[in-house]
Amino acid sequence: MPAPPDSPMHDASPGIATPPDPGSLRTVRLCLLGFGNVAREFCALLARQESALADSHGLRVLVTAVGTRHGSLLAPDGMSGGAVLEAAGLGPASGTPVSAADAPVAAASGRPTLPDPPRLAADLLAAAHADVLVELTVMEGHGAPAATAHIETAFALGLDVVTANKGPIAWNWARIAELARNAGRRIRFESTVMDGLPVFSLLELALPDCRLLGFEAVFNSTTNFMIDAMSEGVSFADALAHAQADGYAEADPAHDIDGWDAACKAASLANVAMDARITPADIERQSLSDVPLERIRQARAEGKRLRLVTTVWRAAADEGKAGSATPAGPATPAGPVRGRLEARELTIDHPLAALGDESLGAILHTDLMGDIFVAELGALVPQTAYGVYADLVHLCRTR
C-alpha cells in the first residue's frame, strides 16, 4: 500500500531513527478522548517509556486534556502519563518511576475518576492546545458519528490524530482522508484492526509499491474463545457467559457474535489499503449463533478447527457475468471490493487454524510479495496500547 506524500498516513521517516541531539527535547501535547482500558494502559506505557521517548526520539510527551462522558481533566502545562493516572486515582505518585511490572497493574486497578465535570469534546479539544488527539472512545451507533466528529474537530483545530477506534475508519474513511488532506493533518490507526499488530504500517512502510489484492482473516477473539469452548461441549449461552466473565466480550456481545466487529475491521483494512469505499454493512455476515454446536464439535472430531473467517477480495469488473472472479480467482483492479464473514472448518495446515482464543491473524494477498501471514498470539489491551504508542512515535518522527 504505497502512501503518497499527501496521504494522511504518510511517514517519510528513513526507517531507522537517528538518535536526537541530547538536550533538544521537543514537547508533544496530547488530548485524550476516552479514558478506559486502552487509554489507561497507554498512559502507563508513556510513563514507562519516558526515557526511551527522550533518548531515542527526542520527545517529551505531555497530556494537556482528558475527556470522557463522566468527567474531564484540563492541564494547560501538561502532565506525564503517570501523573494523569495519579490524578484519576489510578497510578503511583507523579514523578515516581513506573516500572514495567507496576504500570499495567496501575492502569487496570479500579475505575478512574477524572477531577473535573464532563466537557463537550469540541470544547475540551479547543481548550487543550494539543498537537495530537488520541481518540480512544467507543464506536457508538450506525456510522460512528461521535468519534468521527471528534476527529473532524481535531483536524479543524490543526491537530493530528491517533485512534484505536475502528468506527470512523470503517464507516467514514473517504471523508476523513479528504478532510485530513485538506487540513494538512495526519491520522494513524494501527490498533483498529488487529489490536496493535502492524498491518497498515507493514503495507505502508515495509512493502513499497505492493498492492493489497485481498485478505482472509480471523479478526475477533471473543468468538474464537466461544468456539473453542463450544468444541468441548459447552453450550452457546454458557460460552458467552464465560467470555463475558473473562472480559473477552464487548459490552454488547452482539457486536462480536453477529460479526459487526469483524466487519468493521474488514471494512477499515479494505478502505485504507484497497480503496474499497465500503462500509461494514457491505460485508456479508454469518452470526456465531447460527452455527450449530454439532458442527463445531464435528470439526474438532475431524481434527479441524472452526473459525469465523472474513474474506475480502476485489471482484471482476464484470461480476455477475459468466467467468467473473471468485474469492480464489483472478481479480480485475477496476472491480468492486466484496467481503464475507463465515464459519469455516480449517484443516491444521491452514495458517489461520493456528490461532487460539487470544490470537488474531490475517493472510494478506499482495501483488509483489505474494501471500503474507501476520498473526498476534496475544491480542490484549497492552498490545492495543502499544499500537497507539507506535502510531504516536511514527507521527512525531515526521512532524
Enumerate binding residues for ligand NAP (CB under 6 A): 33-39, 67-70, 121, 136-139, 146, 164-165, 191, 195, 381, 384
Residue (125 or 306) nearer to ligand NAP, CB: 125
Locate 173 and state its grid cell: 474513511
The distance of closest approach from Cβ of residue 386 to ligand NAP in the complex, given in angstroms and rounded to an integer, is 11
Locate 379 and state its grid cell: 491480542
The distance of closest approach from Cβ of residue 38 to ligand NAP in the complex, given in angstroms and rounded to an integer, is 4
The distance of closest approach from Cβ of residue 70 to ligand NAP in the complex, given in angstroms and rounded to an integer, is 4
The distance of closest approach from Cβ of residue 196 to ligand NAP in the complex, given in angstroms and rounded to an integer, is 8
282 CB burial (10 A radius; 0-12, 13-18, 19+): middle
Residue (8 or 67) nearer to ligand NAP, CB: 67
Residue (155 or 219) nearer to ligand NAP, CB: 219
Residue (32 or 278) nearer to ligand NAP, CB: 32
Residue (141 or 303) nearer to ligand NAP, CB: 141
From the list 67, 37, 22, 14, the residue with the least C-alpha distance to 384 is 37
The distance of closest approach from Cβ of residue 380 to ligand NAP in the complex, given in angstroms and rounded to an integer, is 6
The distance of closest approach from Cβ of residue 144 to ligand NAP in the complex, given in angstroms and rounded to an integer, is 9
The distance of closest approach from Cβ of residue 304 to ligand NAP in the complex, given in angstroms and rounded to an integer, is 28
The distance of closest approach from Cβ of residue 47 to ligand NAP in the complex, given in angstroms and rounded to an integer, is 17
Residue (83 or 125) nearer to ligand NAP, CB: 125
**Residue with the shortest CB distance to ligand NAP:** 36
Residue (42 or 313) nearer to ligand NAP, CB: 42
The distance of closest approach from Cβ of residue 320 to ligand NAP in the complex, given in angstroms and rounded to an integer, is 35
Residue (83 or 381) nearer to ligand NAP, CB: 381
From the list 133, 106, 114, the residue with the least C-alpha distance to 44 is 106
CA angle 179, 184, 186 (to 5 degrees): 75
Q: Residue type at 377?
A: L
What phi, psi does 49 have (nearest 5°)?
A: -100, 10
Residue (139 or 203) nearer to ligand NAP, CB: 139
Residue (35 or 173) nearer to ligand NAP, CB: 35
The distance of closest approach from Cβ of residue 367 to ligand NAP in the complex, given in angstroms and rounded to an integer, is 29
